[in-house]
Amino acid sequence: MRATRREFLTGLSAMGGAALLPNPSWGQVASSPPQPFRVDVHHHFASPGFVAEMTNRSIGNPRYRQWTPQVSLDEMDEGAVATSILSSSRPGVWYGDAILARRLSRELNEFGTRVVADHPGRFGLFATLPLPDVDDTLSEIEYAYDVLDVDGVAVMSNYDGVYLGDPKLAPVMEELNRRRAIVYAHPIREDRENPINGIELITDTTRTIASLLYNRTVVDYPDIRFIFAHGGGTVAASSSRMGGLAQDLPKGLMYELQKFYYDTGQAYSRPLLASYKALVPVAQILFGTDFPFRGSLVTAQGLAENGGFSNVELRAIERDNALRLFPGLGAEFAASG
C-alpha cells in the first residue's frame, strides 16, 4: 500500500525530522513589513546533505550553502512575499553518479516537504529529479507526486549535454505530460573562472527551449506547463532566428513560445522586460526573485520602475498569474487577497 503524504510527515516527525532544519544564520526582518501578497516561483533552498556535497566539492555559491528556512522567511516578510515555491539550484545533483543523484534528490524532496509542512501557506515545492537517469527519475516523479504531493518539478537546462527535448528523455516527458505537470526549468553552467559565465548561463535556457521545439516535445506532450527562469534567457531576442525550428510545429513558433511561462528572477532591467513583454502576454509572466542571490524588494522595484506595467498588470505578475497556475495555493492567500 502506498504511503500518504500525512503518513510520510508523521513518520518523519517521529524520527526527529524537525532536527533536519538548521538554525538561521543570516537575514533581517523589516521593522514594519507590508502585508504579504506576492508569490515567488524562483526561490532556492538546500538540504543539509546537498550543502555538504557542495561544500566537499568546493562548488556552489557560498550564500546558497548558508540557506535556512528562517533566512527565506525573513526575506519574504520584508519583501511582502506570502508564499515561495522552493526549488534546488545549480550545481544540481548530477555529478556523473546515478546513485548519488538519486540519494540527493530524495533528500531534497523529503526535506522540502518538511519545510512546507512546518510553515503552512508560506512555501510550495518543486521536486528535484535525478536526471538524466530515466528509470530513477520516473520513480522519483511517482514518489514526489503520489506521496509528497509536490506542486511541480524542477529541472536543469541540460545534464551533461542532454537537453530537455532530447529523445532520451521522452519517457520522462510522457509521464510529466500525463500528470499535467508544472516543470520549472533553471539553467546550469558551472564555470566560475569564465568572466562571461552569466551570459553562458542564461543562453543555456534558450538552448533547452530550442531543443523542446526542434524535437517536437511541445507538440507531443502539450499538457506540460513549462516555467523558464530569468525571463527565458535570450529567447525573446533569439525568437526571430528560430524559424527553422518551427517547420514541424503545427500551430507555429509563436504559439509555442507564448504557452510558456517566464519568471522575473534577475530579469527586471528595462531592455529585458521590454523584450519578453513583447514576446508574451502579461498573463505568462511570473514573479520570481532568484533568492538567495537576489531579493523580492529589488525585483519588485525593478518591475515597477522598468516594465511600464499598470497596477493591474503588476498585481497579475506578482500574485494572480501564479494563483491561476497553482490553484491549490489560492486558499492560503484568502486573507491577503
3-class DSSP string for 216-228: CHHHHCCCCEEEE
Kindly report the backbone phi and psi dihedral angles of residue 32, in degrees, each rounded to the nearest multiple of 5, phi listed first.
Answer: -135, 75
Query: What do you get for the CA distance between the two ends of the chain, in Å?
Result: 39
Q: What is the CATH number of the domain that holds 45?
A: 3.20.20.140
Tell me the C-alpha distance between 143 and 88, whole Å: 17
**CA dihedral over 221, 222, 224, 227, signed as positive or negative:** positive
Q: Output the nine-digit C-alpha cell for 91.
A: 550545481
Q: What is the CA radius of gyration of the chain?
A: 19
Residue 20 forms part of a structural domain: no
What is the pLDDT at residue 330?
60
Residue 167 forms part of a structural domain: yes
Tell me the C-alpha distance between 104 and 126, whole Å: 14
Residue type (1 letter), 249: L
Give the chain's residues under pLDDT 70: 1-33, 189-198, 330-337
What is the pLDDT at residue 194?
61
Question: DSSP secondary-structure letter at 3?
Answer: P
Could you read off the pLDDT of 167-185 as tens digits, one per residue?
999 999 999 999 999 999 9
Could you read off the pLDDT of 74-93 as tens digits, one per residue?
999 999 999 999 999 988 99
Q: Which residues lie below 8 Å from residue 312, measured CB to CB, with a gap of 6+?
A: none
Residue 2 forms part of a structural domain: no
What is the pLDDT at residue 196?
60
Q: Hunting for cell 503588476 — which residue is that?
A: 314
Domain count, the chain: 1
Q: Output the nine-digit C-alpha cell for 41.
A: 516561483
Q: Hunting for cell 538548521 — which residue is that?
A: 22
Residue type (1 letter), 265: G
Tell me the C-alpha distance between 260 and 232, whole Å: 9
Residue 26 forms part of a structural domain: no
Residue 320 forms part of a structural domain: yes
Q: Which residues lie below 8 Å from residue 263, measured CB to CB, with a gap of 6+?
A: 41, 42, 227, 228, 229, 230, 231, 285, 286, 287, 288
Residue 10 forms part of a structural domain: no
Domain that holds residue 316: 34-330
H/E stretch holding 36 = none
Residue 305 forms part of a structural domain: yes
Residue 8 forms part of a structural domain: no
Q: Which of 85, 83, 76, 9 is nearest to 41 (CA)?
A: 85
Residue type (1 letter), 27: G
